[in-house]
């Protein structure tokens, strides 16, 4: 009969103990996870903005990270990273925010047209000697008309209050001319077209609180 040395026998015994402890630990962890799933819901991933995402940005994988949440996500329309990649941002996202369907357009829409919600229009305005807003800012669009044309009324009126800037580009003329694209209602778009043709358009930066009443 083959006889093992005491050292070999001790090594085998230690290995058996380690195997038993490891098995017990794994079983305990699996049981704990199963209990957490039953009590709090299963883990599932949600997409999170890796950095600030401006309106009009086409989302790429490098723009996102994933957070694993147990149970229901705080936002019922939260997206996973694969669901968000390739879509266009229509509501600004801050770094660390959960990405939801409300923040993005549907997959088929692209470019600037992809950020225009149903019932709104994107109108480009060329403004001279005025402020240069950033994408995502809220602005009041003002129009000033010749006092002799409008009579006794105020020559300057607000055409579109607290509208969102979705694009900013330099104008074709030299100086401080800037072209700004804003989201407005169909009615406001026709008034803006008239104002641009018959008067002078200018912008006033509006506070974020104006969005609630704009």
Residues 56 and 134 in one domain: no
Per cent of the chain over pLDDT 90 is 21
Local confidence band at 176 (pLDDT 50, 70, 90 cut-offs): confident
Q: What is the pLDDT of residues 118-155, one digit of tens each?
A: 788 889 998 888 888 988 889 999 999 887 766 677 88
Residues 38, 31: Cα–Cα separation, whole Å: 11
Question: What mean pLDDT do residues 171-189 have?
Answer: 80
21/141: higher pLDDT: 141
Q: Which residues form the domain of 27?
A: 1-31
Q: What are the distances in angstroms from CA 162 to CA 61, 138, 182, 207?
A: 32, 5, 10, 8
Residues 7 and 68 in one domain: no
Question: What mean pLDDT do residues 183-204 have?
Answer: 91
Tell me if the pTM is above 0.85.
Answer: no
Domain count, the chain: 3
Residues 109, 106: Cα–Cα separation, whole Å: 6
- For residue 111, being part of any structural domain is answered with no
Residues 174 and 149 in one domain: yes
- For residue 193, being part of any structural domain is answered with yes
């Amino acid at each position: 009969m083959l006889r093992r040395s005491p050292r070999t026998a001790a090594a085998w015994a230690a290995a058996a103990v380690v195997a038993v402890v490891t098995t017990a630990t794994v079983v305990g962890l699996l049981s704990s996870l199963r209990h957490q799933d039953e009590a709090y819901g299963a883990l599932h991933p949600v997409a999170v903005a890796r950095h600030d995402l401006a309106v009009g940005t086409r989302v790429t994988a490098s723009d996102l990270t994933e957070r694993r949440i147990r149970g229901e996500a705080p936002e019922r329309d939260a997206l996973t990273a694969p669901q968000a990649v390739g879509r266009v941002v229509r509501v600004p996202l801050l770094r660390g925010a959960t990405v939801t369907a409300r923040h993005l357009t549907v997959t088929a829409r692209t470019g600037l047209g992809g950020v225009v919600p149903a019932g709104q229009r994107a109108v480009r305005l060329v403004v001279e000697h005025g402020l240069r807003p950033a994408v995502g800012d809220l602005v009041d669009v003002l129009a000033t008309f010749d006092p002799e044309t409008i009579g006794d009324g105020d020559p300057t009126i607000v055409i579109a209050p607290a509208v969102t800037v979705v694009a900013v580009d330099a104008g074709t003329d030299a100086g401080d001319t800037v072209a700004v694209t804003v989201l407005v209602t169909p009615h406001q778009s026709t008034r803006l077209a008239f104002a641009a043709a018959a008067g002078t358009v200018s912008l006033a930066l509006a506070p974020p609180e104006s969005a609630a009443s704009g």
